[in-house]
Amino acid sequence: MAKQSTHYTCKSCNYQTLKWVGCCPGCSEWESFTTKTNTPPSGKHSSLQKTAMVSLDSVDIKPQKRMLSGVQEWDRVLGGGVVPGSLLILTGDPGIGKSTLLLQVTNKLAQNRKVFYFSTEESIQQVAARAQRLHCDSTTLLFSDCADLETIVNTALTEKPDVIVIDSIQNCRNTNTHNFPGSVGQLRESTFRLMQLAKENNIAVIISGHITKEGSIAGPKTLEHMVDGVFYLQGEGRWQTRILRSVKNRFGTINEVGFFKMGETGLCQVPNINEHLIKELTYAPGSSLISILQGSRPLLLELQALTIVTKLTIPQRVIAGVDHKQVVLIAAILEKYLQVKLSAHDIFFKISGATLKLKDSVSDLGIALALLSSYFQQPLPEKSISLGEISVTGQIKPINQIDILVREAQSFGIKKILVAKNQKIENSICASVRFSNVYELLSLFS
């Protein structure tokens, strides 16, 4: 006879242990363990099911047409619209505009698609008032304030909408489990149920989610693994814009960004964000202009450096927006080969007016020139942009996809490109200043 085994499971987070404990190690809940007994199947020939295996060349692939909303910044970040049968999550700080963005996008989608919007945080009256303020007056967009997951799923199975939105997943309750709404176990099981709904019925599911104080999605990390796309809506202080960023997308590129501006009638698109920077660029000592690719979008950024002889025993290194080690490495290379005593200087470094975090080596040359420009107190040539990588041996190397960056820079009046000596640039009307190593950078400040 098969021997039974007993274990204890936490009602809040599904943590399992062989011995009963008062406080759950997984979620720190007290008195949350229940006893469960498992009886393994007896005999060697238990009634287990098996699945059918197929070769990929026998699978009938039907091309799926993406659902475009007409909100171009949203469609860009998603890779060209919402894919039917996908499960997407949008997250961000409280009050950043997640619900506003979802309402505006679904209002557009509902013009040609069947869309259901489930608001688990607001009543129907609250949603109606916000929709009126945002001029989201589509009569084909249907709403509900139902927060029961099984009711939402059954409604979707019966009515067969093209898209359903759940705002937010943390407020959904699942009556089939004993977990509390927002708990780790609840989020895991709810997301898995929605993933089944999306894949098996070809319904696009978009959910909004809360974030922790560290800025990551609230809930287990498996939440991000289960969904097809993870998108963050972030605030940008200087220009009062919102940045929609793709950090995971099975149907498009990651690190894609879209820009919006919050106004009285909701979020307005900002397709030409680079105009804000060009208007404020002064080419003062310590300033250099670079360009980076975020997904498929080239962005122009101003790097600002300040170097000053230190009065402290250990010089300060205050760096924002750029990888700290990258700036320190570039400063060490310049001191090694050019004999500029940056180790005796305080270094303050930042990206002007942006909340982006640079980690790409395409900004190496711009960082070096910003440091040298501040050190010698001489500005770089006006209407110039720096694009290049610097090796630890002091050599300046070419970068990839420079033609995209150059075309964007040319459209905003850039006349001079500072690049590596063997960098290939096609169809450029800009004059190029080429360097083979860091020694030649001093020619700009002589």
**Are residue 345 and residue 375 in the same domain, yes or no?**
yes
Q: Determine the 3-state secondary structure of 22 from DSSP.
A: coil
The DSSP bridge partners found for residue 234 are 243
Q: 340: pLDDT confidence band, cut at 50, 70 and 90?
A: very high
Domain-ending residue, one of 271, 297, 328: 271
The reply to whether 48 falls in a domain is no
**Are residue 416 and residue 299 in the same domain, yes or no?**
yes
**Are residue 113 and residue 201 in the same domain, yes or no?**
yes
**Are residue 105 and residue 236 in the same domain, yes or no?**
yes
Span of 23-37, 161-175, 294-308, 410-424 with lowest mean pLDDT: 23-37
- The average confidence (pLDDT) of the chain is 86
Q: Is residue 410 a contact partner of residue 429, using CB atoms and an 8 Å limit?
A: yes
State which amino acid sits at residue 153: V
Q: How many domains does the structure of the chain reveal?
A: 3
**Are residue 422 and residue 333 in the same domain, yes or no?**
yes
The reply to whether 51 falls in a domain is no
Count Cα neighbours of 340 within 13 Å in the Cβ-side half-sphere. Answer: 25
Q: What pTM was computed for the model? A: 0.75
Q: Tens digit of pLDDT for each residue in 193-221?
A: 999 999 999 999 999 988 776 656 656 56
Q: Is residue 287 a contact partner of residue 281, using CB atoms and an 8 Å limit?
A: yes
- Enclosing domain of residue 216: 72-271
Q: Is residue 223 a contact partner of residue 188, using CB atoms and an 8 Å limit?
A: yes
Q: Check which CATH number belongs to the domain holding 395 and give it.
A: 3.30.230.10
**Are residue 260 and residue 155 in the same domain, yes or no?**
yes
The reply to whether 351 falls in a domain is yes
Dihedral-angle region of residue 264 (phi above 0 means left; psi in -120 to 50 means alpha; beta otherwise): alpha
The reply to whether 65 falls in a domain is no
Q: 339: pLDDT confidence band, cut at 50, 70 and 90?
A: very high
**Are residue 201 and residue 170 in the same domain, yes or no?**
yes
**Are residue 190 and residue 169 in the same domain, yes or no?**
yes
Q: Determine the 3-state secondary structure of 85 from DSSP.
A: coil
Say yes or no to pLDDT of 36 above 80.
no
Mean pLDDT, to the nearest integer, of 158-167? 94
**Are residue 124 and residue 220 in the same domain, yes or no?**
yes
Phi, psi at residue 395, to the nearest 5°?
-85, 140
Measure the N-to-C terminal CA separation of the chain; round to a whole number of Å.
91
Q: Tens digit of pLDDT for each residue in 355-406?
A: 667 778 899 999 999 999 999 999 999 889 999 999 999 999 999 989 989 9
Say yes or no to pLDDT of 420 above 70.
yes
Q: Is residue 411 a contact partner of residue 344, using CB atoms and an 8 Å limit?
A: no
The reply to whether 50 falls in a domain is no
Q: 265: pLDDT confidence band, cut at 50, 70 and 90?
A: confident
Tokens of 174: 């699942």
Q: How far is CA 163 from the centre of its chain?
A: 22
Identify which of 405, 398, 371, 384 has the alpha carbon closest to the alpha carbon of residue 300. Answer: 405
Identify which of 246, 156, 162, 244 has the alpha carbon closest to the alpha carbon of residue 202. Answer: 162
Percent pLDDT > 90 in the chain is: 46
